[in-house]
C-alpha cells in the first residue's frame, strides 16, 4: 500500500472513532433502553480501562528505554503490545459508554477545576493522538525510521500523557460511581 492510501485509512478510522465517541457521549445511542438491566460485567470496564491505561504508560516508558539502548526488536514488540492494549481499551471504553451509564464528578473546590482541566486535556489529546499513533505505528513497522522519529516526537509524549491522565481521571472519579 502506498502512503496516500494509508493516510486515507488512518483519517477514516480516526474520524469514525471520534464520531462514535461523540455520539456515545451525547447519549443519542445506547446499547440498553432506559430502564433495562445492564449486565454486571459492564461495571468492571472503568477499572479495566484504568488498568489498560496504566499498563500502556509503563510499556511506553520501557519501550522508550529500549530504543535508547538500540534494542529495536524489544522496542517493536512492546509497541505492538501497547497498541493492542490501547485497542482493547478503546473497545472497552466504547462498550461501557454505549450502555448509557453516566457518572458525574462530585469533588468541590479547587480539585474540581483540576479534575476538569485534566479531563478536558485528556479528551482533546486522545482525539489528536489516535492518527499520530496509527501513522507512527505504520512507519515503525515499515522501518521508515526517519518518518517514525518525526512522528514519535509528537505521538509519544501525547500518548503517554493520555494514558497517564486516563488513570488519574479514573482515580479521581471512581469514588463517585453509583454502581
pTM here is: 0.90
Please tell me the total count of domains within the chain: 1
78 is in which domain, residue-wise? 3-176
For residue 10, give the nearest of 158, 133, 115 by alpha carbon.
133
Mean pLDDT of 44-72: 97
39 or 81, higher pLDDT: 81
Mean pLDDT of 13-29: 83
Mean pLDDT of 28-41: 77
**Amino acid 72: pLDDT:** 95
CA distance 135 to 3: 10
Tell me the CATH number at 162.
1.20.120
**For the chain, what percentages of helix, strand and coil (3-state, to nearest 5) are there?**
80, 0, 20
Mean pLDDT of 165-175: 97
Instruction: Calculate helix-pair angle for 72-98, 110-141, nearest 10 degrees.
Output: 130
Q: Is the pLDDT of residue 33 over 90?
A: no
Banded pLDDT at 39 (limits 50, 70, 90): confident
**Amino acid 155: pLDDT:** 97
B/e letters for 16-53, b = 16+ CB within 10 Å, e = fewer, are ebeebbeebeeeeeebeeeeeeeeeebeebbebbbbbb
At 79-105, the pLDDT tens digits run: 999 999 999 999 999 888 888 788 899
| C-alpha cell of residue 74 | 524489544
CA distance 163 to 169: 10
**Amino acid 163: pLDDT:** 98
For residue 3, give the nearest of 118, 142, 121 by alpha carbon.
142
Banded pLDDT at 12 (limits 50, 70, 90): very high
For residue 94, give the nearest of 175, 16, 6, 158 by alpha carbon.
16
Amino acid at each position: 500500500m502506498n502512503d496516500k492510501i494509508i493516510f486515507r485509512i488512518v483519517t477514516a478510522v480516526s474520524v469514525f472513532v471520534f464520531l462514535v465517541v461523540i455520539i456515545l457521549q451525547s447519549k443519542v445511542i445506547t446499547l440498553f433502553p432506559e430502564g433495562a438491566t445492564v449486565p454486571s460485567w459492564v461495571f468492571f470496564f472503568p477499572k479495566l480501562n484504568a488498568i489498560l491505561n496504566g499498563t500502556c504508560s509503563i510499556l511506553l516508558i520501557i519501550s522508550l528505554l529500549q530504543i535508547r539502548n538500540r534494542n529495536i526488536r524489544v522496542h517493536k514488540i512492546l509497541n505492538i503490545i501497547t497498541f493492542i492494549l490501547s485497542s482493547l481499551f478503546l473497545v472497552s471504553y466504547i462498550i461501557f459508554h454505549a450502555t448509557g451509564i453516566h457518572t458525574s464528578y462530585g469533588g468541590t473546590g479547587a480539585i474540581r477545576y483540576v479534575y476538569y482541566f485534566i479531563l478536558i486535556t485528556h479528551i482533546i489529546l486522545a482525539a489528536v493522538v489516535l492518527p499520530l499513533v496509527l501513522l507512527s505505528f505504520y512507519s515503525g513497522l515499515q522501518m521508515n525510521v526517519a518518518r517514525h522519529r518525526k512522528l514519535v516526537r509528537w505521538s509519544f509524549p501525547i500518548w503517554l500523557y493520555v494514558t497517564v491522565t486516563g488513570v488519574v481521571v479514573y482515580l479521581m472519579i471512581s469514588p463517585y460511581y453509583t454502581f
